[in-house]
């Protein structure tokens, strides 16, 4: 079971600033463990961010994104109570979706 | 918005969002082409990656800004931001030239999103970072060098 994505949303000057920290190993499949065994690739491939049901950002990741990926960006407008949903799917088909309300 | 669209959006978290929307007939096939560019993500040479992205002839643009450290101590997590002043920026792609796979991420922006994104990437060694911007179907490019002290794609 994956850990929640930490999401921060701040209303600022007519925009909503979003910061998020995903919990994921982002293994590229080339690294070896202490016994010299190759660690299989395991990385987030697809991310979507929605506000009140509308997609504001759709992203594809490769394994060059760092472990526990970080994203920050800004969307126009917004109000207290907006629902922000951050979803991901990885190369093993695991998915996760986390929701916050803009304070 | 009808209930079917709502259901599709809910399901979108688990599957290809644009392909699902296309299957449901909600977005045109042209939009569905925004689905993951598998060839670009699997490319192991810069040339292949740029070709898959249709970006070999991308125009050099001073309106794209890449912010990254000149020297990165730890290649496992290098903070990088890309912003575009090109009107109607619809997509931003970040490539790390010296990594095993060149395309780090591709961002498809809604009209609501400011054309700027911050993230952290791995760098195997000192490298050029490429940022591509798509606006009204045209591609623009910018590049920046980053020196890496300790590489971050370790084997």
- Would the pLDDT of B19 be above 70? no
State mean pLDDT over B112-120: 97
Per-residue model confidence as pLDDT tens digits over A18-74: 999 999 999 999 999 999 999 999 999 999 999 999 999 999 999 999 999 999 999
- Would the pLDDT of B27 be above 90? no
Distance CA A98, CA A80 (A): 18
ipTM of the predicted assembly exceeds 0.85: yes
Farthest-apart Cα atoms in chain B, separation: 53
Q: Per CATH, is B38-150 categorized as 2.40.420.20?
A: no
Are A82 and A102 within 8 A, CB to CB?
yes
- Would the pLDDT of B39 be above 70? yes
Per-residue model confidence as pLDDT tens digits over B59-99: 999 999 999 999 999 999 999 999 999 999 999 999 999 99
- Would the pLDDT of A1 be above 90? no
**Mean pLDDT score of chain B, rounded to an integer?**
85
Chosen for mutation from A8, A60, A65 (greatest number of chain B CBs closer than 10 Å) is A60
The structural domains of chain B, with segments of one domain joined by +, span: 1-35, 38-150
Task: Show Cβ contacts of residue A26 under 8 Å, excluding neighbours closer than 6 positions.
Answer: A42, A43, A44, A61, A63, A65, A66, A67, A68, A69, B122
Query: Do residue A30 and residue B113 have CB atoms under 8 angstroms apart?
Result: no
> How big is the A-B interface in CB pairs under 8 Å?
125
Are B149 and B72 within 8 A, CB to CB?
yes
Domains annotated for chain A, with CATH where assigned, are: 6-101 (2.60.40.10)
In this predicted model, which residue has the larger pLDDT, B38 or B33?
Answer: B38
Q: What is the pLDDT of residue B72?
A: 96
Query: Do residue B112 and residue A58 have CB atoms under 8 angstroms apart?
Result: no
């Amino acid at each position: 079971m994956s850990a929640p994505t930490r999401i921060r949303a701040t209303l600022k000057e007519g925009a909503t600033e979003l910061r998020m920290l995903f919990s994921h190993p982002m293994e590229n499949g080339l690294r070896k463990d202490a016994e010299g065994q190759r660690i299989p690739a395991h990385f987030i491939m697809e991310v979507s961010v929605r506000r009140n049901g509308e997609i504001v950002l759709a992203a594809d990741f490769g394994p060059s994104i760092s472990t526990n990926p970080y994203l920050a960006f800004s969307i126009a407008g917004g109000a207290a109570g907006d629902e922000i949903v951050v979803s991901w799917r990885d190369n093993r088909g695991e998915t996760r979706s986390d929701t916050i309300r803009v304070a | 918005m009808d209930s079917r669209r709502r259901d599709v959006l809910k399901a979108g978290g688990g599957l290809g969002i644009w392909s699902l929307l296309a299957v449901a007939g909600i977005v045109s096939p042209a939009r569905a082409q925004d689905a993951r560019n598998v060839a670009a993500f699997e490319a192991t040479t810069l040339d292949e990656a740029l070709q898959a992205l249709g970006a070999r002839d991308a125009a050099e643009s001073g309106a794209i800004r890449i912010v990254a450290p000149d020297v990165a101590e730890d290649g496992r997590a290098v903070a990088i931001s890309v912003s575009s002043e090109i009107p109607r920026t619809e997509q931003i792609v970040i490539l790390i030239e010296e990594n095993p796979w060149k395309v780090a991420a591709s961002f498809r922006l809604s009209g609501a999103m400011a054309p700027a994104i911050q993230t952290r990437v791995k760098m195997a060694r000192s490298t050029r970072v490429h940022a591509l911007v798509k606006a009204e179907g045209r591609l623009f490019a910018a590049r920046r060098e980053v020196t890496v002290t300790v590489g971050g794609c370790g084997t």
